[in-house]
A and B are shown apart, each in its own frame.
Chain A
């Protein structure tokens, strides 16, 4: 990437709850180039959605972005600018596509009105103009007979159509970056493919960068060029997509890949990663994945691994990078040992 569009440096988003400080995003750094599609992958609770909300500065109290975090977007630090300037960024420069197209649209307005509203927030202008633009956008996202559809309410549209409307709302101001938070999770598989195809098409057309947040590696494989894997509020592995699928380094990434259903591989049960993501108020000492890892040894219990550079564009937060021989000695993860003990 010559000049990244978005560079996140040491992003920390903590929630100050009654049960302690939840370090949901804990020192995340990455960048997204212009026109690039980056996948952000991880289980529920690993911090990917909070990362997305932090980029938009939409984290609500008791959550807050800690001082020292920087979100550099087009040469401006989004953490530092005031709320009014941030509002001008939201929707116009960075837009978000949400997971639930059922509820991300306001039930009492027609979809045309909702797209037109975005135009009027950012560009002003007349109602008619905004409406024309809305109809245009509906056409761009592939909604048949957009003039009529624009007059319909969200409940009159199918899930896939609604997601198209949400995408139209995100794209109407031609933003430089779209953050898509699980955009296909709530949809049927066939519709999923259509929506992903649409995102690809639109990206090619408008040169928009996309940060695709998902837990579905299948979605990642066919959509993105680079993958960032998150676990425990941190980035644990980052690599170009082919590299990641061929040479996953971090045991967590390998676990995720093994848990994917694959055509042609008959298996009675899908592989799983034992245990669950620990609560963000209480990350484990050392490596945050050690209790679920088949390779963890003493070092993992005490020493928090840095992001090791294991290839030119490949990093992994695992001590196996310096002690690769350990890979030959898998054992039962500690969570399972504890459970059976």
Chain B
């Protein structure tokens, strides 16, 4: 965590995400509007940004700041839960396939191949169209349930290399069961890429959720998610750039922040990178090699 704060982009990504999270949580208390009620359909229809309404209002005279803040709750919550679900599913599937290998692995991976060959957005649009009513929990299930295939591949690949490590055999030689080896020894060793993948995938899921809402199959009116707010603005566009700009900006900034955080985590968690960071100052100064390691070079 300390290294993450020291990371040049990681620091900003964290700041943005904390800010977003805080505003999502306390948002409803920041503004006196709910974003759902129509204030004054005559006087405040498509009102430009002002002190009373910093983001302006939409075509139904609803306060856009309030809507974007409420949307943050929904977009972030849905993405977070969906990604959590997909990580759990993907990690379980990948660990089992990678650890046991053989026919089981082949079958499990062909299943993943089959799922991956279906375009995710089309699948989601189709499902949501058929379902008509999509409550938020179902949205989470659908996004999470279609998002874990890549994760499972990643975890499997990591598991394949981790299980060949002598410490796995050593653990077996000490009497550890398969379950124990999977959870105690392999999972922590594949955790680093998993965390990176999860972070990157939050950004993607936010964009995807926005996209689905924009296509009219995600969260639905009057529930404001960023996508649906954006959709409303585009549908009734009449020179009111603010209605498009602010929700759009929210999506872009959030996705960017999560992607940057993911990259920063990758740098921080990759042991080879760490190695490099330790070595650079030494070679840069080009001084005779000095024992920098503070730990005592004690005898065995």
Contact = CB atoms under 8 A, between A and B. Distances in A.
A92 B175 contact: yes
Nearest to B191: A108
Contacts of A56: 173
Interface string A180-213: 0000000000010011000000000000000000
A126 B175 CA distance: 18
A98 interface: yes
B300 A96 contact: no
Nearest to A86: B175
Interface residues of A, number: 38
A142 B173 CA distance: 23
Contacts of B297: 158
Contact of B102 (A61, A92, A106, A161): A61
B281 interface: no
Contacts of A61: 102
A272 interface: no
A105 B167 contact: yes
A91 B300 contact: no
Interface of B, helix, strand, loop or mixed by DSSP: helix
A98 B188 contact: no
A87 B300 contact: no
Interface string B144-183: 0000000000000000000001110111111111001000
A158 B296 CA distance: 10
B15 to A, nearest CB: 29
Given A87-B175, A91-B175, A169-B174, A103 B298 contact: no
Given A160-B300, A164-B300, A194-B300, A58 B169 contact: yes
Given A90-B172, A106-B171, A191 B300 contact: yes
A144 to B, nearest CB: 6
Given A108-B188, A156-B295, A95 B300 contact: no
A91 B169 CA distance: 12
A87 B177 contact: yes
Given A103-B167, A104-B166, A121 B189 contact: no
Given A121-B180, A158-B300, A96 B173 contact: yes
27 contacts: A58-B172, A88-B175, A91-B176, A95-B174, A98-B169, A98-B173, A103-B165, A104-B169, A105-B170, A106-B185, A107-B167, A108-B188, A109-B188, A117-B184, A121-B174, A121-B175, A121-B177, A122-B175, A142-B300, A144-B298, A158-B297, A158-B298, A159-B300, A164-B300, A170-B174, A191-B300, A194-B300
